[in-house]
Amino acid sequence: MGRLSGRTAVITGAGSGIGRAAAKLFAAEGAAVICADITDAVSATAAAINEAGGKAIAIQGDAGDDAFVKSLVDRAEADFGGLDVFWANAGISGGFAPLHEQTADYWSNILRVNLIGPFLAVKHASAAMIPRGRGAIICTASVAGIRSGAGGPAYSASKAGVINLVQTAANELYGTGIRVNAVAPGLIETGMTKPIFDGARARGNEDKIGQLNPTTRYGEPEEIARAGLFLASDDASYVNGQTLAVDGGLSTSHPVVRRKR
């Protein structure tokens, strides 16, 4: 029996990286998984799960759109009889444009996907979970949301919002049996961080990627997926309103290499 046997999970951003790793892991642990992503790569994630003997469906859409997020919850109830886990993982980085070059529209888009998206997940998932008296909601934050030094201003602000969202949502859902937590990845090799890794490899500096954390390496999507599995499972039955940093120790100090202006 897997740790999620008989349960249904929705995972956004499941077309690649952390979301894909999480979808595969949750399915291997017994969950029926609704894989969601804005790209058509999400179909490959669901296909891989089904070919391995798991149960998954793929749905393409925008995780920052209210109607789409609600439709994911509706599909979980219609296709699998209910919803047990929702991992709001989809996110965008926005790059590293200097602050004075950023616009309000640029900020709005990052906040819409990275912060409003998780809010919508909490809103709609909890509505389906409350009558069942249980449920686990996970949001992907970032060490960039803990302190400066791990991301651009808009991205960092959005992830700081996620950290506060899980705290306030956990208390809003007082007594419902629903737990709301976040995982805060450090430097992980995903589609979003590809430019960082590609640039380092092009310079011949791959061995220096992740050198600023005490574990002295970057992380893999599967390592974040395992943290999410813990938060989704009964192993975390007394964990609520928390943010779990999975970063090789980076957030203990956030050392940075300063850029000259």
Active-site residue (options: 106, 155, 174, 238): 155
243 vs 250: CA distance, rounded Å? 14
Buried-state track 109-136, b at ≥16 Cβ within 10 A, e below 16: ebbbbbbbbbbbbbebbbebbeeeeebb
91 vs 202: CA distance, rounded Å? 26
* Cross-strand partners of 179: 136
Q: Is 106 a catalytic residue?
A: no
DSSP state of 251: G
Q: Which residues does 72 contact at the CB level (< 8 Å), separation at least 6?
A: 10, 12, 34, 36, 59, 61, 86, 124
The amino acid at 174 = Y
The amino acid at 145 = G
Active-site residue set: 155
